[in-house]
Amino acid sequence: MSKELHVIGKASRKVGVMQKVSGQTVYAGDISLPRMLYCKILRSIHPYARIKSIDSREAEALPGVMAVMNGKDSPKKFGIMLRRGDDEVLAIDKTRFVGDSVAAVAALDEETAEEALKLIHVDYEVLEPVMSIAEGTVPPNGEPIHDYAELGNIHKRVSLEFGEMEAGFAKADLIQEDIFYYEGNTHLAMEEHATVAHYEADGKLTIWSSTQNPHYLHKAVANVFDMPPSRIRIIAPPTGGGFGGKVDPLNHEMVVSKLSMMTGRPVKITLTREEVFYAHRGRHPVLMKVKTGVKKDGSITAMDFKSFLDGGGYGSLGVATVYYTGALQTVTYNIPNYKFQGARIVTNKPPCGPKRGHGTPQPRFAVEVQLDKIAEKLGINPLDIRLNHLTRPFTKTANHLSITTTGLRECIEAVEKRSNFREQYGNLPLGKGLGLACGSYITGAGFPIYWNEMPHSGVQIQIDRGGGVTVFCGSTDIGQGSDSVLAYIVAEELGVTVDDISIVTADTSLTPVDLGSYSSRVTLMTGNAAIDAARKLRTLLFETAAKEFGVPLESLDARDNVVFCPENENCSISFPDLVVKAESEHGTLGSVGSYAPPPSTLGGKYKGAGVGPTPAYTYSAAVVLVDVDLETAELKVEKIWIAHDVGKAINPLLVQGQVEGSVYMGLGEAMMEEQVFRRGLHKTPSLLDYKSPTFLETPDIETILIETNDPNGPYGAKEAGQGPLLPIMPAVANAVYDAVGVRIDEIPIHPQKIFKAMRDKEKGKEGRYGPKGVPEIPFPDPIRVESQWGQRADQESSR
């Protein structure tokens, strides 16, 4: 469509933001219902223990306590993987980390509920915990943490091979092997999770919850309580940040539902910040071994990538995470032959799951740092080793992923230009350094979490007789601006102003399904569904107007609440007037639209091919300027230039916000954040102790948006919420090397690590800090698939 755009592409205010800044937004934690009870959860003090008995008689007798429950009261398991889920509503017979849920109380107020927890007596048999990847890969001393684990405590092993590895390595002039470690960290959304459940006398259950995924929660709740989904309504009020931490259905949501059923009253829980650290589902710690063969010109002949993930106590989306640590290495640079082996290990720590970038920041860190090491050995500038070997648009990768548009070249060139990288790299004074890195991410997973052929996103539009437009969609605004995207698109298509639009989202009884706010899928998928719905309605309205004016439908345009014919001044009608005429002609006005990714983008047929495909990949490149104190090794990031190929910025201001937010989060991961434990105990479960940057550590960020107009995106748009995080961590590591000549092959890059590497280097040892080995575990024989690297990827419109 070559129509001029009036709303799309313009910087404008976010929908709902005035309510947020004035304190009017009603979050889940603000909801209060008459007769509401408050829930508190008793948590395990042992990393691993069997529950021999729970005596809650004293708690039940405490005045003000209305119900006490434990795992036996609701024994069915659940999880984001649905039928394969291993989450328990409350521990059934074992607790698997410090903070795991054991029992719950509903009382008239929070204080009484807390008091009652002290009166619940749990008799534990303490079991031998598994606290590390290494411990989890050897046959356990005690019993495995989960029955489904293989070889002790291994949750999942993956082994895939694309192309001819031996031949690939044989062609290489240099074979580089490195081992990297990426420590776990958590989301740190500002809003702690809150849920209110209300089970009413007609047998219907309504849940208001801070969730990114009302649809999957809907399915999980139905499953746990064996209830028809038609009796359950999930509402996600505006969510105060998610970053992946509210993707999984979580046990507190089930607990308050059950307590509401037991008491016939609404029940509410708000997790404390400490409990949020236990609910976790954050970044997996990953140990990686990368072997890459390159020719003298830096072209990669083969890559063999191994990853070992520390999963924590439960499965979460971990199976997908393992695959993601191997999926997207291939989409940035040409890798004709590729092998991936990954294993997720269960340990007695809070469960890891999806966090911004889901399973891809860790391997991206490894690939980008290794590439710099290779470039140095070959005497190639870090820019060129990337620029000379970029994947091409509309081609496939070794592992059968279809690339549509790629703006990686423009991204690299843009940050090069602003930072003057080519001249400055290697030439700054000792202590100052520049680092370059790139990344790529999916714009929405090609497949839903459970197999089905239905749309991934649905939008419904209704028009009232005054000209107001209401847009219904299951999508969930977690702060990223998905409500805004719906409003802008419908405003653009119908020619009304954004202020005339009401958005109703994330309510399973009112809104068509959208799968949820994960995998950076929302702008592309709800956007396309919204266009689909809006254009149907636009046609209806324009038909009426065309008839009225006696002009062809194609000659009409609409903007600012007026439908008009640009060629004929006399043909003009206000949107409300047109609505009245159209409703008189057609009857009630409304339309629906839906979207599912086009089959051509859905990847290969091999087992595991479901992780990685997407309608469109985004690309980013960043250059980071650091200062390393030569005596104390203190690390300061002084400036960041980042370019992101967003396809098309629906609202450039919101995209910039997403990019800057990603940079900020990436810096936290790069420099300080870590989820670490001592004897099973989380060391820093508070905002004071868990070190995350403040704005004092956040440098000047220059954001450059690259627009490649992807044929699969609405108006050409791709994602912006996760991709820009990816280059930050490796760029910092590469900059530290440029500054002081030491390699930190481990995230986070604490000053002590730089300090140690600098001292080692002074003593003539290798100036490197990082892991030295990976566990030897038997991987199954790889599934061998022919490489599709470089093949043409078909273009086709969405189904």
102 or 616: whose CB is closer to other proteins? 102
Residues 6+ apart with CB under 8 A from 494: 469, 534, 537, 538, 541, 558, 575
**Shortest distance, position 729 Cβ to other proteins, whole Å:** 16
Strand partners, 304: 291, 339
Rg (CA), the chain: 27
**Stretch in the footprint of other proteins (CB under 8 A) among 252-260, 422-430, 465-473, 684-692:** 684-692
CA atoms of 676 and 181, how far apart (whole Å): 14
**Stretch in the footprint of other proteins (CB under 8 A) among 19-27, 283-291, 456-464, 750-758:** 750-758
The answer to whether 677 and 683 have CB atoms below 8 angstroms apart is: yes
Which of these, 519, 530, 544, 540, lies nearest to 446 by C-alpha position? 519
Confirm or reject binding of residue 639 to other proteins (CB under 8 A): no
Confirm or reject binding of residue 683 to other proteins (CB under 8 A): yes
Binds other proteins (CB under 8 A): choice among 691, 699, 782, 783: 691
**Shortest distance, position 677 Cβ to other proteins, whole Å:** 10
CA atoms of 159 and 326, how far apart (whole Å): 10
CA atoms of 157 and 311, how far apart (whole Å): 12
CA atoms of 726 and 641, how far apart (whole Å): 13
Confirm or reject binding of residue 684 to other proteins (CB under 8 A): yes
Phi-psi sector, 156: left (phi>0), alpha (psi -120 to 50), beta: beta
The answer to whether 598 and 525 have CB atoms below 8 angstroms apart is: no
Residue 224, CB-side half-sphere exposure with 13 Å CA sphere? 33
Query: 522-549 and 482-494 are packed helices; what angle lies between their axes, rounded to 10 degrees?
Result: 20
**Stretch in the footprint of other proteins (CB under 8 A) among 42-50, 444-452, 723-731, 749-757:** 749-757
Confirm or reject binding of residue 693 to other proteins (CB under 8 A): yes
Binds other proteins (CB under 8 A): choice among 40, 344, 396, 750: 750
Q: SS3 for 424?
A: helix
**Stretch in the footprint of other proteins (CB under 8 A) among 432-440, 630-638, 763-771, 790-798:** 630-638
**Stretch in the footprint of other proteins (CB under 8 A) among 57-65, 253-261, 470-478, 627-635:** 627-635
**Stretch in the footprint of other proteins (CB under 8 A) among 219-227, 358-366, 451-459, 626-634:** 626-634
Binds other proteins (CB under 8 A): choice among 10, 536, 756, 784: 756
The answer to whether 760 and 766 have CB atoms below 8 angstroms apart is: yes
Strand partners, 520: none
What are the backbone dihedrals phi and psi of residue 555, each rounded to the nearest 5 degrees, phi first? -85, 0
Confirm or reject binding of residue 743 to other proteins (CB under 8 A): no
**Shortest distance, position 115 Cβ to other proteins, whole Å:** 13
**Shortest distance, position 705 Cβ to other proteins, whole Å:** 30
CA atoms of 523 and 654, how far apart (whole Å): 12
Q: SS3 for 366?
A: helix
Binds other proteins (CB under 8 A): choice among 694, 763, 764, 776: 694
**Shortest distance, position 55 Cβ to other proteins, whole Å:** 22
Binds other proteins (CB under 8 A): choice among 78, 208, 542, 755: 755
Confirm or reject binding of residue 439 to other proteins (CB under 8 A): no
**Shortest distance, position 428 Cβ to other proteins, whole Å:** 22
Sheet strands (E) in 82-173: 94-95, 101-107, 121-126, 154-162
201 or 696: whose CB is closer to other proteins? 696
**Stretch in the footprint of other proteins (CB under 8 A) among 336-344, 616-624, 680-688, 784-792:** 680-688
Question: Which class for 584: exposed (0-12), middle (13-18), buried (19 or more C-beta within 10 A)?
Answer: exposed
Confirm or reject binding of residue 638 to other proteins (CB under 8 A): no
What is the contact mask toward other proteins in residues 644 to 673, using x (rule: CB under 8 A)?
Answer: ---------------------------xx-
Question: Which class for 761: exposed (0-12), middle (13-18), buried (19 or more C-beta within 10 A)?
Answer: middle
Which of these, 160, 176, 151, lies nearest to 325 by C-alpha position? 160
Binds other proteins (CB under 8 A): choice among 1, 21, 190, 688: 688
**Shortest distance, position 262 Cβ to other proteins, whole Å:** 28
**Stretch in the footprint of other proteins (CB under 8 A) among 43-51, 282-290, 611-619, 628-636:** 628-636
**Stretch in the footprint of other proteins (CB under 8 A) among 27-35, 319-327, 345-353, 751-759:** 751-759
**Stretch in the footprint of other proteins (CB under 8 A) among 183-191, 387-395, 590-598, 748-756:** 748-756
**Shortest distance, position 632 Cβ to other proteins, whole Å:** 5
572 or 684: whose CB is closer to other proteins? 684
What is the contact mask toward other proteins in residues 695 to 714, using x (rule: CB under 8 A)?
Answer: -xx-----------------
Confirm or reject binding of residue 631 to other proteins (CB under 8 A): yes
Confirm or reject binding of residue 10 to other proteins (CB under 8 A): no
DSSP 8-state code for residue 333? B
83 or 683: whose CB is closer to other proteins? 683
513 or 635: whose CB is closer to other proteins? 635
DSSP 169-209: HHT-SEEEEEEEEE--B----SSPPEEEEEE-TTS-EEEEE
Distance of CA 110 to the CA centre of its chain: 32
Confirm or reject binding of residue 752 to other proteins (CB under 8 A): yes
Confirm or reject binding of residue 751 to other proteins (CB under 8 A): yes
Query: 318-327 and 361-378 are packed helices; what angle lies between their axes, rounded to 10 degrees?
Result: 20
The answer to whether 288 and 770 have CB atoms below 8 angstroms apart is: no
- Whether residue 266 is preceded by a cis peptide bond, meaning omega within 30 degrees of 0, is no
Binds other proteins (CB under 8 A): choice among 452, 632, 709, 791: 632
**Shortest distance, position 200 Cβ to other proteins, whole Å:** 36
Q: Which residues bind other proteins (CB under 8 A)?
A: 631-632, 634, 671-672, 676, 683-684, 688, 691, 693-694, 696-697, 750-752, 755-756, 759
